[in-house]
Amino acid sequence: MITRARLVSIVLLVFLLMSGTAAVAKPETDPLLIAIDADFSTVAVEGGDAIAKGVALAVAQVNREGGLLGRHLQVVHKDHRGNPARGVANIRSLAQLDNLLAVVGGIHTPVAIAELPAIHQHNLLYLGAWAAGTAVVENNFDPGNVFRVSIRDSEAATVLVKHAKARGFKRVALALERTGWGRSNLDSITQAAQRHNISIEKVTWINWQQKSFEEAAASIESARVDAVIMVANAPEGAVITNAIYQTFGASLPIIAHWGIASGNFVTSVATDILQQMDIGVIQTFSFLYQNNPAAARLYKDYQSAYGKTAPDGIPAVVGLAHAYDLVQLLALAVKQANSVKVADIRQAMENLPETQGVVKLYNPAFTSTRHDALWAEDYFMARFNDNGNLIPMMR
């Protein structure tokens, strides 16, 4: 005969077992999280916003199609403010979240590089949508958890230098931001210049938040160069450009890395000066001159979500396209792996089939020895039109 006390114990045991089972089962139905760690408040707000919109549109598309493994996706935002220490703190905070699938990161290279130890310590997948430093991917972590759809500095240098050579420039100066990104470009541009018989006559540097570049511009004038190759974000890029204009007028061409496309460069320089100057900017994507159905669908979705915008008028459009493709590639990898475990997704990312993305046909996007999806042949030079929007130059 079961006593009342014994019956109560059995009921409590059954309740605890059921509660435990429910606690274990619940995470399997909770949404999967994709985090964004980008600059939303300082020098690259346009780039951060573009990345966020690309992630949001890709997540919406995945959820419309039923989610991943029966679970919907949700987005978590973190603002690193261009500060490496804050970026590391963000990664450590995100690592505590249940059901975190991946972190989409972007802008800036120094932040991404500082985050690498924490990313790998906590075994997080990091999808690089906008950070060109070669060391972001070539980082000596094994296994490497970083997959990038973005420019890579060692490849960008070749494109920038070949553009200079095609223009007939033989003597150039460099104007570089004094960060890990600038130093990465010094190495890669120097090597590319040597390969293409272009002489670097002067190397100048600018610090973040520096307000004057006149002295450096005067030293560039003394070097008698044909053009300036500029590696800087929007605020410093505007300072450099304005100083070049004050020193040379519109006579000295500028060949620019893409950092100036991530912020308020156009308004800081003014469109009337941009219309006079000869400025080329490296890019990877434009909605102009497209016959790609994936790009057409993204453009339609963008307008539905954020309002009618001309194809050349979407700010920091490369961040939008890169982030969108990264989430789509991640979703494909999760489905292929039939798992949300990092090791399984990483292996699937390295073994994806041919995939039509917004930026390009990935064939494939990554391999076990190549975690960069874009290379020199995927880059092009663009110029500012009368509205301050970037227009691809003829390849």
Mean pLDDT calculated for residue range 257-274 = 94
Mean pLDDT calculated for residue range 58-87 = 98
Above 70 in pLDDT, residue 297? yes
Mean pLDDT calculated for residue range 175-195 = 96
Rounded distance, CA 334 to CA 331, Å? 5
CB atoms within 10 A of CB 21: 10
Above 80 in pLDDT, residue 199? yes
Above 70 in pLDDT, residue 131? yes
Mean pLDDT calculated for residue range 229-256 = 98
Strands 126-130 and 171-177: unpaired
Domains of the chain listed by start with CATH number: 28-151+290-375 (3.40.50.2300), 154-283 (3.40.50.2300)
- The residue ranges of DSSP E strands in the chain, in sequence order, are 32-38, 73-79, 100-106, 126-130, 146-148, 171-177, 199-206, 227-231, 254-256, 279-283, 355-356, 361-362, 380-384, 390-392
Mean pLDDT calculated for residue range 217-225 = 98
Mean pLDDT calculated for residue range 206-213 = 96
- Per-residue confidence (pLDDT) for residue 19, from 0 to 100: 44
- Per-residue confidence (pLDDT) for residue 331, from 0 to 100: 98
List the single range of 181-185, 270-274, 285-289 with lowest mean pLDDT.
Answer: 270-274
HSE at residue 19, side-chain half, CA atoms within 13 A, is 6
- Per-residue confidence (pLDDT) for residue 28, from 0 to 100: 72
Q: Are residues 346 and 125 in contact, defined by beta-carbon separation less than 8 angstroms? A: yes
Above 50 in pLDDT, residue 137? yes
Q: Which two tokens stand for residue 307?
A: 């309002």
- Per-residue confidence (pLDDT) for residue 11, from 0 to 100: 40
DSSP string of 31-84?
Answer: PEEEEEEE-SSSTTHHHHHHHHHHHHHHHHHHHHTT-BTTB-EEEEEEE-TT-H
395 band by pLDDT with thresholds 50, 70 and 90: low
Q: Which residue has the higher pLDDT, 94 or 28?
A: 94
24 band by pLDDT with thresholds 50, 70 and 90: very low
Mean pLDDT calculated for residue range 172-180 = 96
| Residue pLDDT, tens place only, 345-374 | 999 999 999 999 999 999 999 999 999 999
- Per-residue confidence (pLDDT) for residue 27, from 0 to 100: 53
pTM: 0.92
| Residue pLDDT, tens place only, 88-112 | 999 999 999 999 999 999 989 999 9
Strands 380-384 and 390-392: antiparallel
5 band by pLDDT with thresholds 50, 70 and 90: very low
Q: 243: phi > 0 → left, psi -120 to 50 → alpha, else beta; which?
A: alpha
Instruction: Compute the C-alpha angle 60/25/350, nearest 5°.
Output: 50
Percent of the chain with pLDDT over 90: 90
Above 60 in pLDDT, residue 9? no
Residue that has been written with the tokens 């046909």 in this structure? 361
- Per-residue confidence (pLDDT) for residue 197, from 0 to 100: 98
- Per-residue confidence (pLDDT) for residue 8, from 0 to 100: 39
Above 70 in pLDDT, residue 183? yes
